[in-house]
Chain A
């Protein structure tokens, strides 16, 4: 079961102040750092978050990743939407214009 999405195709997601994408050199992994939380990222999560520039919409990010990984754009868009919804719930990703 997937919870209701918190981001629409035309929405622009971004990492707000206090949330940082970085290397964990000791463990050799990528992590997302946020207030009192650090989350380990897999290669897909890292690829998605690295695309967040505060300018492009979910749709345009999905198109870029679909082209790069030769995958169907609908599937990629759905994966990004679900992944980002989880992070929006945790306030680790913001959406432009949202309260």
Chain B
């Protein structure tokens, strides 16, 4: 073991890393869909740069030794990798609980059975809308709706637990009750109702996606009512529209505290949007072990603890509740990753952010998520 300096935040204050519980493994950025709010970075990684399956195997073993219990195998569309079952097998061999996060497009019934044998524990299926026209327009993929409905049936026939992931925004929020009803009909154990987070692609599409204040209130009411009605039958997890909230979301439950994300090329990120913080440098599993990166990389240590915070966070009693909010949103809206998340009502920029969100609702067409040609 090499001597390592004591972990410290970006100001040099000592920090104490905990242990991660969950790892997001984005095994590819390739995807047949083109959703305008995709959480992948605007600069997408190409197939040639993707980490091979055997490297993923090593990363999963290192993750398990580090304390990770669950892996979320995602993308892009993970099914775009022909060696997906092999990757899943490596994760199970390492002792991890395997969540497959998929669009359902491009995975046949035979392949889903292969993934069952490889050890997938749970399937999360994304939903872009409630009818063929809406789902296909938002995903930019004609025929996506029919394929998804067929895929959902296979999932429950094989016996996997199913979660429906419904991303909501200005153009589909009124249909939230129908999305919940559909998840019930499909036999889902859970539905995640996630309001679009405005990073990367979604930020390019703010004017078409930003929900109104009324919509955010409506969604909250629908979720509260459905939770009562479906108690014991379906779990509803809800990511509210933070632009209309009083306090910011507790991003990642605290930076570098419980989760990590490995990108298709092996870069290790504290969260999936962290590359939007332009000055931050990320280590790669091709160069260092996951444990070393977790404990010693500058990116993970930068915002650990609370000493790095400025006012109004520094003297705020909520600083260990929401950790100053989202660092990437602070970067995007305040131009400073250390700032209080501007969606917080205590941020000096809050009034500006709210005014902008109110004005945003003026467009319907999308900038679709696509890889650049050539390169």
Which positions in A face B, CB cutoff 8 Å? 6, 16-20, 24, 26-27, 31, 33-36, 38, 88-91, 98-99
CB of B137 within 8 Å of the partner chain: no
- What residues of A have a CB within 8 angstroms of the CB of B17 in the complex? none
Q: A6-B232, A26-B66 are in contact. Are A17 and B189 (CB under 8 A)?
A: no
Contact string, B42-76, partner A, CB cutoff 8 A, digits 1/0?
A: 00000000000000000000001111011010000
- What residues of B have a CB within 8 angstroms of the CB of A90 in the complex? 235
Q: Which B residue sits closest to A90, measured CB to CB?
A: B235
Give bound CA distance, A19 to B99, whole Å: 12
CB of B231 within 8 Å of the partner chain: yes
Q: A26-B65, A91-B190 are in contact. Are A35 and B233 (CB under 8 A)?
A: no
Contact string, B87-123, partner A, CB cutoff 8 A, digits 1/0?
A: 0000000000101000000000000000000000110
15 contacts between A and B (CB under 8 A): A6-B232, A17-B159, A17-B161, A18-B122, A24-B67, A26-B66, A31-B69, A33-B70, A34-B161, A35-B124, A35-B161, A35-B189, A38-B21, A38-B69, A89-B235
- Return the contact of A18 from the options B72, B161, B235 (Cβ within 8 A): B161
B69 touches A24 (CB 8 A): yes
Give bound CA distance, A98 to B122, whole Å: 21
- What residues of A have a CB within 8 angstroms of the CB of B234 in the complex? 91
- Return the contact of A91 from the options B72, B124, B235 (Cβ within 8 A): B235
Question: How far, in Å, is A67 (CB) from chain B's closest CB?
Answer: 29
- What residues of B have a CB within 8 angstroms of the CB of A91 in the complex? 161, 189-190, 234-235
Question: How far, in Å, is A1 (CB) from chain B's closest CB?
Answer: 15
Question: How far, in Å, is A58 (CB) from chain B's closest CB?
Answer: 15
Question: How far, in Å, is A15 (CB) from chain B's closest CB?
Answer: 11
Give bound CA distance, A34 to B22, whole Å: 12
- What residues of B have a CB within 8 angstroms of the CB of A34 in the complex? 122, 161
Give bound CA distance, A36 to B231, whole Å: 19
Give bound CA distance, A62 to B124, whole Å: 35
B232 touches A88 (CB 8 A): yes
A38 touches B70 (CB 8 A): yes
Give bound CA distance, A88 to B189, whole Å: 11
Question: How far, in Å, is B208 (CB) from chain A's closest CB?
Answer: 29
Q: B residues 330-354 with Cβ under 8 Å of A?
A: none
B99 touches A36 (CB 8 A): yes
Question: How far, in Å, is B16 (CB) from chain A's closest CB?
Answer: 16
Contact string, B142-169, partner A, CB cutoff 8 A, digits 1/0?
A: 0000000000000000011101000000
Question: How far, in Å, is A39 (CB) from chain B's closest CB?
Answer: 10
A36 touches B70 (CB 8 A): yes
Question: How far, in Å, is B156 (CB) from chain A's closest CB?
Answer: 11
B235 touches A26 (CB 8 A): no
Given contacts A33-B121, A38-B69, A90-B235, 20 further A-B contacts (CB under 8 A): A17-B161, A18-B121, A18-B161, A26-B19, A26-B64, A26-B65, A27-B67, A35-B99, A35-B121, A35-B124, A35-B190, A36-B72, A36-B99, A36-B122, A36-B124, A38-B97, A88-B232, A91-B190, A91-B235, A98-B232
- What residues of B have a CB within 8 angstroms of the CB of A27 in the complex? 19, 67
Q: Which A residue sits closest to B21, measured CB to CB?
A: A38
- What residues of A have a CB within 8 angstroms of the CB of B159 in the complex? 17
- What residues of B have a CB within 8 angstroms of the CB of A24 in the complex? 67, 69
A20 touches B232 (CB 8 A): no
- What residues of B have a CB within 8 angstroms of the CB of A18 in the complex? 121-122, 160-161, 189
Give bound CA distance, A19 to B121, whole Å: 8
- What residues of B have a CB within 8 angstroms of the CB of A19 in the complex? 161
Q: Which B residue sits closest to A17, measured CB to CB?
A: B159
- Return the contact of A89 from the options B65, B161, B232 (Cβ within 8 A): B232
- What residues of A have a CB within 8 angstroms of the CB of B22 in the complex? 36, 38
Question: How far, in Å, is B94 (CB) from chain A's closest CB?
Answer: 12
B233 touches A99 (CB 8 A): yes
Give bound CA distance, A34 to B70, whole Å: 9
Q: Which B residue sits closest to A31, measured CB to CB?
A: B69
Give bound CA distance, A17 to B65, whole Å: 25
A35 touches B19 (CB 8 A): no
Give bound CA distance, A89 to B19, whole Å: 28
Question: How far, in Å, is B72 (CB) from chain A's closest CB?
Answer: 7
Give bound CA distance, A36 to B69, whole Å: 10
Q: Which B residue sits closest to A38, measured CB to CB?
A: B69
